[in-house]
């Protein structure tokens, strides 16, 4: 039978929008030593906006570049892709026909347009392929997420800079967790520069940048060797293995079905402060019965 205090806590939890799917991890959570947050969509809003389109080739104007990138991205569901498609719509740009579309996990997308192969990818992809990154001083100095447009795996035509706002409640959440003696980390597929920026803004204890989806779980494993109880908070498909690997997996907000199914606890809100409610609830629940 379920002890009364626990069942009462479960209903308090439900009222606060916390769904406890597995009780053991909830019990473990009161002793949590480290919380690892996914960046995009968890600590940040996960809604990107195009800030700047930089051209590296004199043969293309910005609208043509945006048209090419948006056409390839129109077949992707990534929040970055949505922002780029949105920007092209705002500029009343039609999309072109794309063949052989492929998504490159954690790095970008590719597709053929009029017989030319285009990639809309991260800087990591360019490094992997040994493709030189164009003149740095043409690049925006602001901290942003970048999508490079590469033609025929040879020529980098453009870079689009996008920004995603840090959620207003993230900072207070991190501060409160620290006051409770809990370490905070961030894990992201995004670049080093942006990870460092978000980490410093929020006062995190550490971060992992440019982590491929299949490597996220490995990072959690490494952290578990150092810290007793590690919780992972995420929303995306690429967070699912990490949610399963953590001592406590927490899915947040409008998370994807797969993240929700992989989580021990589901928070219906996107407000990261709900993590604090969860800490308090797990502590008070088990204080009463133990």
Q: Return the active site residues.
A: 38
Give yes or no for a contact between 163 and 144, defined as CB atoms under 8 angstroms apart.
yes
Report if residue 41 touches Mg ion, rule: CB under 5 A. Answer: yes
Q: Min. distance of Cβ 202 from ligand ADP in angstroms?
A: 15
Which residue's CB atom is positioned nearest to Mg ion? 236
- Binding test (CB under 6 A) with ligand ADP, winner from 20, 50, 98, 120: 120
- Binding test (CB under 5 A) with Mg ion, winner from 236, 241, 255, 272: 236
Give CB contacts under 8 A, 24+ apart, made by 102-105. Answer: 103/76, 103/78, 105/212, 105/213, 105/214, 105/238
Pairing relationship of beta strands 116-121 and 145-151 according to DSSP bridges? antiparallel
Decide which of Mg ion, ligand ADP, none touches 45; Cβ closer than 5 to 8 Å per partner kind.
none
Report if residue 40 touches Mg ion, rule: CB under 5 A. Answer: yes
- Binding test (CB under 6 A) with ligand ADP, winner from 9, 67, 71, 76: 76
Report if residue 81 touches ligand ADP, rule: CB under 6 A. Answer: yes
* Closer residue to ligand ADP in complex, CB, 25/79: 79
Angle at alpha carbon of residue 270, lines to 226 and 123, rounded to 5°: 65
Report if residue 209 touches ligand ADP, rule: CB under 6 A. Answer: no
- Binding test (CB under 6 A) with ligand ADP, winner from 35, 50, 70, 109: 109
Distance CA 3, CA 14 (A): 17
Report if residue 38 touches Mg ion, rule: CB under 5 A. Answer: yes
Give yes or no for a contact between 71 and 95, defined as CB atoms under 8 angstroms apart.
yes
Site size for ligand ADP (CB under 6 A): 22
* Closer residue to ligand ADP in complex, CB, 81/250: 81
Give yes or no for a contact between 166 and 201, defined as CB atoms under 8 angstroms apart.
yes
Place of tokens 């606890």: 265
> Which residues does 13 contact at the CB level (< 8 Å), separation at least 6?
19, 20, 278, 281
Which range of residues in 32-40, 105-113, 122-130, 276-284 is near Mg ion by CB under 5 A?
A: 32-40
- Exposure b/e, 144-182, CB count within 10 A at least 16 = b: bbbbbbbbeeeebbbbbbbbbeebebbeebbeebeeeeb
* Closer residue to ligand ADP in complex, CB, 173/256: 256
Residues in contact with Mg ion by CB under 5 A are 38, 40-41, 236
What does the binding site for ligand ADP look like in residue numbers (CB under 6 A)?
A: 39-40, 73, 76, 78, 80-81, 106-109, 120-122, 145, 147, 188-190, 213, 236, 238
């Amino acid at each position: 039978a379920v002890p009364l205090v626990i069942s009462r806590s479960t209903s308090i939890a439900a009222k606060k929008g916390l769904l406890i799917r597995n009780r053991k991890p909830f019990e473990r959570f009161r002793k949590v030593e480290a919380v690892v947050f996914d960046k995009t969509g968890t600590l940040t809003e996960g809604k990107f906006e195009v800030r700047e389109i930089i051209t590296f080739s004199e043969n293309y104007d910005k609208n043509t570049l945006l048209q090419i990138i948006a056409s390839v991205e129109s077949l992707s569901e990534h929040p970055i892709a949505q922002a780029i498609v949105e920007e092209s719509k705002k500029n009343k740009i039609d999309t072109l026909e794309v063949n052989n579309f492929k998504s490159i996990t954690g790095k970008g997308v590719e597709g053929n347009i009029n017989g030319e192969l285009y990639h809309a990818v991260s800087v990591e992809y360019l490094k992997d392929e040994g493709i030189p990154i164009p003149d740095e001083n043409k690049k925006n100095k602001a901290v942003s997420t970048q999508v490079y447009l590469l033609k025929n795996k040879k020529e980098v035509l453009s870079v689009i800079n996008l920004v995603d706002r840090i959620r207003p409640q993230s900072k207070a959440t991190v501060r409160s967790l620290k006051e409770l003696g809990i370490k905070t980390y961030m894990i992201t597929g995004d670049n080093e520069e942006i990870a460092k920026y978000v980490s410093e803004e929020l006062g995190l204890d550490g971060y992992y940048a440019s982590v491929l989806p299949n490597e996220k779980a490995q990072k959690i494993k490494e952290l578990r060797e150092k810290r007793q109880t590690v919780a992972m908070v995420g929303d995306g498909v690429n967070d699912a293995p990490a949610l399963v690997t953590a001592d406590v997996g927490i899915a947040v907000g409008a998370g994807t079905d797969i993240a929700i199914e992989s989580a021990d606890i589901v928070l219906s809100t996107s407000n990261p402060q709900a993590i604090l409610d969860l800490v308090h609830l797990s502590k008070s629940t088990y204080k009463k019965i133990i």
